[in-house]
Amino acid sequence: MNDYTIHEDQNLSDRPYMRTCVPKTMDVEITAFEIIRFIEWPSNYGQAKPDAYADSSYIKFSGELHDKIIVFNMSDGEVATFRTLTDARIRPLPVGAIGGKNKATVFDGIGHSGMSSHAVPDLGLMDGEPGALSYLSDFEEPHGGKTPASLTASLFLDDDKFSRLLAALSINPRPLRTFKLCILAEMFESEMSASLSEPWMSRDYGLLMKGTTIASTRARIESLALSTGVTALSSDFDGEDGDASVIDRVLGIEDGRRTEAGSDPDRTLLKYQRYILIALLVLIAVTAFSA
């Protein structure tokens, strides 16, 4: 019928079976990322001439999808399948630029899919959303070699949230243990799958390819989570431990001095010195993230 509604050959009593393209959520576990910072002299046609350099940043990442993405076209069917995102990007945009015209959520698609399926509007439900999930077919490099086909994404965050994410990734004193995204994207799904699948199940989603080399659908970040794992703090001074802790080294307490500090007053003083330093570090971290 249109780019968002496909009628199948089988029929129900009052309508044909459908595959509809509506907002679906997809979990991504990020396996690698890097922060790209660059400085450039702005040159945008039709805009005021700049008088200074501009600096920008974006985050490039790759990750594993919980669901399977099937790229297909109407003539040949399946073209490629993916469970990974490659060289995807997250960039900042001004507040209010994300969400499209309808501010659609996954619940907006429920009435157009499953056993209640009916035709999706010609412009889809996420009209105006700036982000995209895209398939790029393989291509020959100018200087030889071939780049394989891939599934990638161009996603956005409000600029204030992007700045906080950038700070968390850049100055975190501990390595990240997990970095996860949930992406909302307009994807095709069979009527039966949409009706019977549970939220925790892996699903097969379809990405319609209308050209010969690229397929794209609108997408945005639904949620994002970072974790450094659990940090265990020792509340008692252990004089038998021969290795000085990081805090001991900051306070200038060597192994020998720790061993000599056997009296209760010495132990109490060292303990409170540690607590004061920990409190200062926490205060600095809270101030940095709330700025």
What sign does the dihedral 203-207-208-213 (CA atoms) show?
negative
Strand partners, 63: 30, 85
Neighbours of 275 (CB within 10 A): 13
Q: What is the pLDDT of residue 126?
A: 96
Distant-in-sequence, close-in-space partners of 45: CB < 8 Å, separation ≥ 6: none
pLDDT band at 141 (very low <50, low <70, confident <90, very high): confident
Q: What is the pLDDT of residue 232?
A: 76
Is-contact 187 134, C-beta < 8 A?
no
Dump pLDDT digits (tens) for 192-213.
788 777 777 899 999 999 888 8
- For the chain, the structural domain boundaries read 5-227, 246-290
Tell which residue, 36, 4, 30, has the closest CA to residue 19: 4
Can you tell me whether residue 137 is helix, strand or coil?
A: coil
Q: What is the pLDDT of residue 259?
A: 46
**Alpha carbon 14 to chain centroid, angstroms:** 41
Q: What is the pLDDT of residue 249?
A: 55
Residue type, 197: S
Q: Angle, to 10 degrees, between the axis of helix 264-290 and the axis of helix 159-171?
A: 150
* φ and ψ at residue 152, rounded to 5 degrees: -135, 180
What sign does the dihedral 45-46-50-53 (CA atoms) show?
negative
Q: What angle do CA 184, 187, 190 make, to 5 degrees?
A: 130
Percent of the chain at pLDDT > 90 equals 47
Tell which residue, 37, 41, 44, has the closest CA to residue 54: 41
Q: How do 146-147 and 139-140 pair as beta strands? A: antiparallel
Task: Tell me if the pTM is above 0.85.
Answer: no
Quickly tell me which residue has 């949930």 as its tokens. Answer: 182
Mean pLDDT, the chain, whole residue set: 84
Tell which residue, 231, 238, 233, 232, has the closest CA to residue 253: 238
User: Measured between alpha carbons, how far is 71 from 181 in angstroms, rounded to an integer?
Assistant: 21
Q: What is the pLDDT of residue 201?
A: 86
N-terminal to C-terminal alpha carbon distance within the chain: 51
pLDDT band at 155 (very low <50, low <70, confident <90, very high): very high
